[in-house]
Chain A
Amino acid sequence: MFGAMDLLRSRLNRLTTDDNRFYGRSPGWSATDGSPRTNFYDNGNQLELKAEVPGMSKEDLTIQIQGNYLEVSGTRKSDAPEGYKVHRTERETASFTRSFTLPSEVNVDKIDASLQNGILSLTLPKAEAAKPKQVSIA
């Protein structure tokens, strides 16, 4: 029923090239006020986290875990060059801390974290007791 409105909206999005309202954020996605947007996935045997952290390097991020409490914090340093006139600054250089309560216990020693293209990816293997298991009927 709303097919026509979606079509109209996507056509209009393409026409308004410098739309003041949607810089870096799209309608329909939750606003997180300066903290990096984060996705969580459950793959059965492991949990996965992905966060948008453009302009940050490994040294700028801290990941801490305690039980099923996960905390990700970081600072984005400004890369504004010396001696240049500033026309526009939309990118934030702020510190953030974001914490999550994980839905299941994870194996803390086997957590893997990687950073690529400004996306932080965490793989958190579930603790044995939390993994899905098949139950056979006698």
Chain B
Amino acid sequence: MSETTNITTKEKTVPERSREIPVIAPVVDIFENDDEMLLYADMPGVAKEDITVNIDNGELLISGVRRLPPSGTATREEFGDVEYRRIFSVHQTIDVEKVNAELKDGVLTLHLPKSEASKPRQIEIH
């Protein structure tokens, strides 16, 4: 005797949802000096228009969607459409206005300058 129970209820009129693209975290390198934090993220195949960089409330979100152009029959498929997505906590000392990003050869480079007030300063003793 077998019984199948529907775990999700689906209305008959709703069309089959097309497969969502998987979300993976891009590999990153993070560096820091007195003036800025520097982040590199690998996002091969993502065009500039499909990248989002958001800083909100101490959280940095980077996201890039890659959709490969349709291309014949795949005889080997090791990578496909994907959303690269990763969230980081950013320290209050980052000057959000001055953050800049560039994309080259599939690598997203993010410069996160530190605010002037937080840069180390030497105090002179008179």
Contacts and interface: CB of A to CB of B under 8 A. Distances in A.
Given A79-B40, A84-B31, A26 B107 contact: no
B72 A84 contact: no
Contact of A4 (B7, B28, B32, B45): B7
A25 B82 CA distance: 10
Contacts, number: 144
Interface residues of B, number: 44
Contacts of B57: none
Interface in B21-47: 22-33, 37-38, 40, 42-47
Interface in A1-21: 3-4, 7, 10, 13-14, 17-19
B47 A117 contact: yes
A77 B43 CA distance: 16
Interface in B47-86: 47, 68, 71-80, 82, 85-86
Interface in A95-137: 103, 115, 117-119
B22 to A, nearest CB: 5
A118 B44 contact: yes
A83 B36 CA distance: 12
B56 to A, nearest CB: 13
Contacts of B82: 26
Interface in A44-97: 44, 48, 50, 52-57, 79-81, 83-92
12 contacts: A17-B25, A18-B25, A29-B79, A37-B78, A39-B76, A41-B73, A48-B72, A79-B40, A79-B107, A80-B29, A84-B33, A118-B44
A12 to B, nearest CB: 11
Given A4-B8, A22-B25, A118-B107, A41 B31 contact: no
Given A4-B7, A17-B87, A37-B78, A54 B30 contact: no
B28 A91 contact: yes
Interface of B: 7-8, 20, 22-33, 37-38, 40, 42-47, 68, 71-80, 82, 85-88, 103, 105-107
Interface residues of A, number: 52
Contact of A24 (B26, B72, B75, B80): B26
B42 A55 contact: yes
A22 B42 contact: no
Contact of A118 (B20, B22, B32, B106): B106
